Chain A
Amino acid sequence: MKILVCISKTPDTTSKIAFKDNSTKFEENGVQWIINPYDEWYALVRAIELKEKDASIVIHLITVGGADIEPIIRKALALGGDEAIRVNTTGDDSFYIAAQIAEVAKQGGYNLIFTGKETIDYNSSSVGGIVAGLLDVPFVSLATKFDLAGSTATITREIDGGEETAEVQLPVVVSCAKGVAEQRIPNMRGIMGARTKPLKVVEPAAIEPLTHINSYGLPPAKAGVKLVAADNVAELVRLLHEEAKAI
């Protein structure tokens, strides 16, 4: 059994978001980078939990990025996983990134591919689906529970207004949301062990991106809060009804 876990780096959740070069590039100055929370807390940890129950499971991590992403992938390896693969390219098009992952996955014979439900920077929730589409294997989005018995996965996933549980035969691509695993932090043994785990660098396949980001912007600032006295709730209701026309 081989599991591939897709790892992305994102700015820390407390980062102030700013842009440079005429709003065409993200301002990386002063930004702390982390493993995308959904990739770490849910996708990676669930793979590790499965391996803790079945030691024969092999976990590979994959990331698409330049050499500067290696501290992030080492941090992920400190949590668990047997080896990592870095596809040596960068990009902001989901199809380009996913197609690079799919190229590696085709060679690897993975039974299970995990992604986080989305990255907290681009929020597209797209890489997992594109990988599944390119590999032509089933895709289960927004999983909140994942169990494995032999080659059958039982997965609960978010649907609009609730959730559903389904069974699927491996191979499958799964995007992981809250609930799939318990968040954990790496221990010293893991951190030391991660230094010597293999980190393979592969060159990208020739793939045309299908989108590109022209520019960024920030939402308009709020005009300022209108405060209403706590003993004058009727005034708030009047404002919401007559001024905001929201109720």
Chain B
Amino acid sequence: MSVLILIDHAEGQIKKASFEVLSYGAAVAQQLGTNAEGLLLGTVQDDLPALGKYGITKLNQVSNEALNAVDALVYAKAIAEAVTLTGATVLVLSHNQTGKAVAAITAAKLTAGLVAGAVDLPDTTNGFVVKKAVFSGKAFANVAITSAIKIISLNPNSYKTMAGEGIAGVSQLNITVAAAAIKVTSVNRVKGEVPLTEAEIVVSGGRGLKGPENWGMVEDLAHVLHAATACSRPVADSGWRPHHEHVGQTGVQVAPNLYIAIGISGAIQHLAGVNRSKHIVVINKDPEAPFFKAADYGIVGDAFDVVPKLTEEIKKLKNS
């Protein structure tokens, strides 16, 4: 009746989101009075026993290189089989792009109730109730899972990664992996940038920046903060920035520690994508911009004047 945690990886490296779900899954196991185990499908270069520091006692690996690419159906079947072989009753994974591809299929294969997009630890005082974000971040729901096997996919940046002491024993799981039906012909990963959904800090620009040629100062600010860049919907629709940077109800929903909105008025659809951010800073020359009502800190002023100064001040802080 252990808790099994999927360790997601790409290009030989474990993703940051996996450390978060390991910490989360270990806390779930502690709450249930059971063990937390990791599940790694494929191969990575990371030090696997060291993952014990996130609270897992054992790491189950299926070291089949075919699993380094994610064919959702094949991958999910392997997860389902691993759940059965390890006797796990709770499966935890990230609600990142991999999680969105595989969690639901796994739920179908195991007839397991799934809460997708959890934002907190389950409440196990009466049943098994998981809080998740709904209405694109405008609200949350407390969802009871009633099936014997339970699956939780955790929204990125919802739980604090906690590392302590510990070594995990690594053991190989013997699973026959079906041939992939999906043949990947090209992979295009944005290099050198912080992925938006994993970023601790996000710097986002709106129409107030007047044109794509003015994004240099947004990128400069993002650079000194090691932040990801994002934008509002009109900016993406005008082709000033790529669509994958569009944050909002119909774009990406983010929950960073700090969200800095520059020249974004704060339409309700945009707020839906950012209102789980812990701290929000708004820079806008219109004091009536609705975003100020959702912000923690604000500057009423011209972005072209304020943003370069902000970058300079942060540089000073980092160098002090």
Q: Which residues of A contact B (CB under 8 A)?
A: 11, 13-14, 17, 19, 37-38, 93-95, 98, 117-118, 120-134, 136-142, 144, 154, 158-169, 175, 178-179, 209-219, 222-223, 225-230, 233-234, 236-237, 239-241, 244, 246-247
Nearest residue in A to B258 (C-beta to C-beta)?
A: A246
Closest partner residue, chain B, to A129 (CB atom):
B104
CB distance from B121 to the nearest CB of A (A): 16
Chain A positions within 8 Å of B306 at CB level: 230, 233
CB of A112, distance to nearest CB on chain B (Å): 14
B136→A120 contact, CB < 8 A? yes
The reply to whether A246 and B257 contact each other, CB–CB distance below 8 Å, is yes
The 3 closest A-B pairs by CB, nearest first: A129-B104, A133-B108, A230-B301
Chain A residue numbers with a CB within 8 Å of B282 are: 225
CB pair A159–B297 under 8 Å, yes or no, is no
Could you pull out 15 A-B pairs where Cβ atoms are within 8 angstroms? A13-B250, A123-B117, A125-B95, A126-B103, A129-B107, A131-B108, A139-B101, A160-B98, A164-B187, A165-B184, A167-B185, A178-B243, A214-B129, A228-B297, A233-B306
Complex formed: what's the CA distance from A165 to B257 in Å?
32
Report the nearest B residue to A209, measured CB to CB: B146
- Interface residue ranges, B against A (CB under 8 Å): 8, 10, 15, 17, 70-73, 76, 95-98, 100-109, 111-117, 129, 132-147, 181-190, 193, 195, 197-198, 201, 225, 243-244, 246, 249-251, 253, 257-258, 268-269, 272, 275-276, 278-282, 292-302, 305-306, 309-310, 313-314, 316-317
Pick from A93, A117, A162: contact of B113, CB below 8 A: A93
Central interface residue in A117, A133, A237, by most chain B CB within 10 Å:
A133
> Which of A124, A165, A228 counts the most chain B CB atoms within 10 A?
A124
How far, in Å, is A161 (CB) from chain B's closest CB?
Answer: 4
Q: Given A17-B135, A159-B10, A168-B181, is A247 in contact with B298 using a C-beta cutoff of 8 Å? A: no
Give every chain A residue within 8 A of B190 (Cβ-Cβ): 161-162
Give the chain B neighbours of A159 by CB distance below 8 A: 10, 70, 97-98, 187, 189
- Indicate if the CB atoms of A139 and B72 lie closer than 8 Å: yes
Cβ-defined contact, B139 with A160, below 8 A: no
A141 near B139 (CB under 8 angstroms)?
A: no
Known pairs A211-B143, A215-B141 / 14 extra A-B pairs, C-beta < 8 Å:
A94-B116, A95-B108, A121-B136, A132-B105, A139-B101, A139-B104, A159-B189, A160-B198, A165-B188, A210-B107, A215-B142, A227-B298, A236-B299, A241-B317
CB distance from A162 to the nearest CB of B (A): 4
Beta-carbon contact of B189 and A161 below 8 Å: yes
Nearest opposing residue in chain B for A234, CB measure: B313
Partner of B73, one of A139, A211, A213: A139
Q: Please state if A230 and B105 are interface contacts (CB–CB under 8 Å).
A: no
A222 touches B294 (CB 8 A): yes
Is A236 touching B182 in the complex (CB atoms < 8 A)?
no
Cross-chain contact A158 with B108 (CB below 8 angstroms): no
Closest CB in chain B relative to A226 CB, distance in Å: 5
Identity of the chain B residue whose Cβ is nearest the Cβ of A127 in the assembled complex: B104
Roughly how many angstroms separate A95 CA and B147 CA in the complex, as a whole number?
Answer: 11
Nearest residue (CB) in A for B10 is A160
Complex contacts, A123 vs chain B, CB 8 Å: 116-117, 133-136, 253
CA separation between A240 and B300, bound complex, in Å? Answer: 17
Of the candidates B108, B197, B296, the one whose C-beta lies within 8 Å of that of A244 is: B296
Give the chain A neighbours of B138 by CB distance below 8 A. Answer: 17, 218-219
Contacts of B268 in A (CB 8 A): 13-14
List B contacts of A93 (CB < 8 A).
113
Give every chain B residue within 8 A of A144 (Cβ-Cβ).
243
Q: A218: which B residues are within 8 A, CB to CB?
A: 138-140
